[in-house]
Amino acid sequence: MMWEFENDCIVIHLTLVPYLAAAGELKTKPTQHSVKQLLELGVQPDILCCRTEHELDLTLRKKIAKFCNVSMNAVIEARDASTIYEVPLLMQKEELDKVVLEKLGLSSKSIPNLDSWKKFLAVVENPTNEVTVGLVGKYVELKDSYKSISEAFIHAGASNDCRVNVKWIHSEKLTKANLEEELSGLDGILVAPGFGSRGISGKIEAVRYAREKNVPFFGICLGMQCAVIEFARHELGFQDAHTTEIAEDCKYPVISMMEEQKNIANLGGTMRLGAYKCQLKPDSNSYNAYNTDLIFERHRHRFEFNNDYLADFEKAGMVATGKNPETGLVEVVEIPSHPWFVGTQFHPEYKSTVENPHPLFVAFIKAAVTHNKK
């Protein structure tokens, strides 16, 4: 099968070269056995990326190349790094890019310019500022559940010359009794997305704390919906306000499923997925962050802000600063009287990258830095 695509594809095999402390040496046997098993399946690796804690010296590289039937320059040292963002630079130093081009029979037209990446890494490792942001969610014991958010913090932190320390706060354990203890001293609070009723009361309490204490707040998807529910209960006096996802018969369904979705039997089919337009109001936090009035953001949810209550919210001080121009659905809510209070129905963390940190995360961390210096 591989022969049919000769020179059109290559196999890069990631292996482990463990360090045996008792012997004081690196062992190549795991790599050899791994390659042997691949060969038994009819696959010959072209390049070996060898995970290691220590340097692969010339002798070890020759040994691996010989017993694994790869060229010497195709044995790439993948040394443990202090941050994953250092890996591209380490791979360039090992000339992995050149080896790949050579194996594919392609010419190198230019040398990759990683100056912006190096600048980013320098700020990540030696920031001028430092803030602590509380991430309130119900899956915090599994931090990878919020990997996109934690990485977006790093991107936004670098943009603000700032290290973002994340305090992981389990929403299910957050109560009125321990609210001050858990949230005091934070420079920003982000209430994370999710589904279901578990931990939602803690999220609502976190929103209230951020709103009343003037701590920069960012709510994403369910986090935005919690902000709406909290505001309805404590500012509008709608004590029974809730989302129909959790309380179907609540008196004030400020978050609900739209009529056109209700007749869809398949649960997944009721979700609003993919990128949608959003029109932003001028002079809002979100508009100032994007510096444009029309954006496209990704969605993954079933329930929406109930527009039947929009006039009540805006009269009381929570404004819809972002709407879908075609459907009128509320995508962004803000409290203009607050230092920085933004809730988004969409997921901005999905689009954040090193070279293009998401503007809302950048603005949120900027607000956290300002709060920290007060």
pLDDT of residue 361: 98
Based on the fold, state whether residues 132 and 266 are members of the same structural domain.
yes
Instruction: Assess whether 97 and 218 both reside in one domain.
Output: no
C-alpha pair distances (Å), 148 with each of 85, 102, 350, 354: 14, 34, 6, 12
pLDDT at site 268: 46
Number of domains in the chain: 2
Whether 120 is in a domain gets the answer: no
The CATH number of the domain holding residue 51 is 3.40.50.300
Shared domain check, 184 and 57: no
In a domain, 187, yes or no: yes
**Residue-range definition of the domain harbouring residue 86:** 2-112
What does the alpha-carbon distance between residue 294 and residue 205 come to, in Å, rounded to a whole number? 32
DSSP string, 96-147: HHHHHHHHTT----S----HHHHHHHHHHHS-SEEEEEEEEES-TTSGGGGH
Instruction: Say whether 4 is catalytic.
Output: no
Q: Are both 104 and 135 inside the same structural domain?
A: no
258 and 294 inside one domain? yes
Last residue of a domain, one of 112, 147, 173: 112
**108 and 211 in a common domain:** no
The verdict on whether 250 is a catalytic residue reads no
Determine, yes or no, domain membership for 281. yes
pLDDT of 6 reads: 61
| 97 occurs within a structural domain | yes
Report the pLDDT value the prediction gives residue 267, as an integer from 0 to 100. Answer: 46
Q: Are 135 and 58 contained in the same domain?
A: no
**Residues 95 and 32 placed together within one structural domain of the fold:** yes
Q: Which residues contact 123 (CB under 8 A, 6 or more apart)?
A: 157, 158, 161
Of the residues 221, 299, 301, 334, only one is catalytic, namely 221
In DSSP terms, which residues pair with 95 in a beta bridge?
none
Active-site residue, selected from the candidate residues 94, 230, 304, 349: 349
Q: What are phi and psi of 152, to 5 degrees?
A: -65, -35
| Domain termination residue (choose one: 48, 77, 112) | 112
CA dihedral 84, 90, 94, 100 (to 10 degrees): 50
At 302 the pLDDT is: 85
Identify whether residues 94 and 166 lie together within a single domain. no
Each of the 374 residues of the chain gets a pLDDT tens digit; together they read 445 556 688 999 999 999 998 889 999 999 999 999 999 999 999 999 999 999 999 999 999 999 999 999 999 999 999 999 999 999 999 999 999 999 998 887 788 889 999 999 999 999 999 999 999 999 999 889 999 999 999 999 999 999 999 999 999 999 999 999 999 999 999 999 988 889 999 999 999 999 999 999 999 999 999 999 999 999 999 999 999 999 999 999 999 986 655 554 444 445 678 899 999 999 999 999 999 999 999 998 889 999 999 999 999 999 999 999 999 999 999 999 999 999 999 999 999 999 999 999 999 999 999 999 98
101 and 18 belong to one structural domain: yes
Q: Say whether 221 is catalytic.
A: yes
User: Rounded to an integer, what distance in angstroms lies between the CA atom of residue 311 and that of residue 337?
Assistant: 17
pLDDT of residue 259: 60
Q: What is the domain-level CATH number for residue 246?
A: 3.40.50.880
Alpha-carbon distance of 122 to 132, in angstroms, equals 20
**Residue 169 lies inside a defined structural domain of this protein:** yes
96 lies in the same domain as 147:
no
- 333 and 208 within one domain: yes
**53, 86, 112 — which closes off a domain?**
112
139-168 burial code (b ≥16 CB/10 A, e <16): bbeeeebbebbbbbbbbbbbbbebbbebee
122 within domain boundaries: no
Residue 172, pLDDT score: 95
Residue 118 in domain: no
Q: Does residue 352 fall inside a structural domain?
A: yes
- β-bridge mates for residue 189, sequence order: 134, 217
In this prediction, residue 8 carries a pLDDT of 83
* Residues in CB range of 350: below 8 A, 6 or more apart: 148, 298
